[in-house]
Amino acid sequence: MPQPVWERLSAELPDDPNALVFGSRINGGYLSVDEYRWRFDKACADVGIDGPTPHGLRHTCASLAISAGANVKVVQRLLGHATAAMTLDRYGHLSDDDLAGVADALGKAIDATAVSLRYNEPSEPEHG
C-alpha cells in the first residue's frame, strides 16, 4: 500500500487482523457487487467527484505502477491476473514510449563500464 494511503487509512482500520475492511452493512459479511457499487458511487457523490468507476481506478493503478517501473510479475499479482502474459497483453502498450528511455539507459550503462575501454578510438596519424 502506498505510504500516503496507509497514513490516511491506518487509524481507521479494525483492530482485528481478520476483520473485513469494507464489510456489508446489510448482512455483516462480504459486500455484494450491488452494495459495493452503491457505496462507491455514494462516496464519490459525497465528496463531489463525478465519473470514476472502480474498474477505471484499477486501470489507473496498474498504469501508474507500470510507469513507475514496477516488475510485470508484481503488477500481475496486484491485479490478480492468472499470468504475466495477461498483464502484458492488457498493459504492454504503456511500454511503447519507453524505447528511447531504454536506449538512453543502455548507453549510460555502456559508458559507465570498462567495455568502452576495450575499444580504443583510432589514433590520429602523427605529423612530423
pLDDT per residue as tens digits for the range 70-97: 888 999 999 999 999 998 888 877 666 6
pLDDT per residue as tens digits for the range 97-127: 666 777 787 788 777 775 555 555 555 555 5
Tell me the CA end-to-end span of the chain in Å, nearest whole number: 70
> By residue range, what is the domain housing residue 23?
3-117
Neighbours of 121 (CB within 10 A): 6
pLDDT per residue as tens digits for the range 4-32: 888 988 898 888 988 898 889 888 899 99
pLDDT of residue 114: 58
Q: Name the grid cell of 123.
A: 589514433
48 lies in some domain: yes
CA dihedral 57, 59, 60, 66 (to 10 degrees): 150
pLDDT of residue 104: 80
pLDDT of residue 36: 92
127 lies in some domain: no
CA dihedral 88, 89, 92, 93 (to 10 degrees): -170
Domain count, the chain: 1
101 lies in some domain: yes
123 lies in some domain: no
* DSSP for 6-61, written as a single string: HHHHGGGS-SSTTS-SS--TTTSSSPPHHHHHHHHHHHHHHTT--S--HHHHHHHH
pTM (two decimals): 0.61
126 lies in some domain: no
66 lies in some domain: yes
Residue type, 76: Q
Contact 34, 63 (CB under 8 A): no
124 lies in some domain: no
93 lies in some domain: yes
